[in-house]
Amino acid sequence: MINQRNIERVAEILVRHPCCVALTGAGLSTPSGLPDFRSPGTGLWERIEKIPGGQSEVMTLQGFKEKPEAFYRHFHSFLEMIVSAKPNQAHIAVAKLEAGGYIQAIITMNGDMLHQKAGSQRVIEIHGTIGRAVCMSCYQYDQGEYHWQRYLENGKIPQCRRCGGVMKPDVILPGEQLPVQMVLTAKKLLRECDVIMAIGTSFSGGPVMNWIEKACEQRKKLLIINSNPTILDAVAEIAIRADVADVLPAIGEKLGIANYG
């Protein structure tokens, strides 16, 4: 059950501190039917690691370059889910909070495009996006949907319409650097904001956790909404452990934003 006092406190903070940035992780999209990465038994990487030639050999940049057919074979079912996924009530609530001026931008670790489908306008995709494909030969970008629909229909590895090279989803794989411009933008937003609302992320390590720790040292208010405890709960102003698809609409309703159907 959601603690209504915590909902009220979050709403009060958003009213008093209008410069809020949302940080979203895989837990925001699990209500849309997409697996997160590390949950026992259901996480995407855990399932892949159980397959011979799993993440360590295939789901990396080097693995893609060497065996793109193996990458797509393992990625096929997840790609099907992403293409058919629809925004859930949490995505819609975040978009409405942005439209209402309570959130200035969304920094997301998700590449599923569900924020945009929900109507969010300023989305910084620090782990890349399934919305684009990039050619591994000529490095030209192309619309992801064009290639994924055809791949799911005919099973053929997507090829560049310009040079015929293999197309890779423009998401960050192990072995790749985060996109520099997105990182710079994200860091600037975190440096200038008053409040960080972290949604659906467990802060499992990596540069993002370091960014948030630094922001907390600079006395930014951290609000955490996640179904499970996180390692930063102790430094958060408020940590709500509940379903994001219940919490975000409740916050919106407290602020006078409704209609999440």
Report the interhelical angle of 89-99 vs 244-254 (nearest 10°): 30
Q: Decide if 127 is catalytic.
A: yes
Site of tokens 């990465």:
37
What phi and psi, each to the nearest 5 degrees, are found at residue 7?
Answer: -60, -45
Among residues 74, 115, 127, 147, the one annotated as catalytic is 127
Q: Give strand ranges (E) for 209-259.
A: 221-226, 238-241
Q: Three-class SS of residue 179?
A: coil
Q: Are 32 and 84 in contact (CB under 8 A)?
A: no
Sheet (strand 141-143) strand order: 141-143, 128-135, 167-171
Write the burial class of residue 143 (CB in 10 Å: 0-12 exposed, 13-18 middle, 19+ buried).
exposed
DSSP structure class, residue 30 = G
DSSP structure class, residue 88 = -
User: Which residues are catalytically annotated?
Assistant: 127
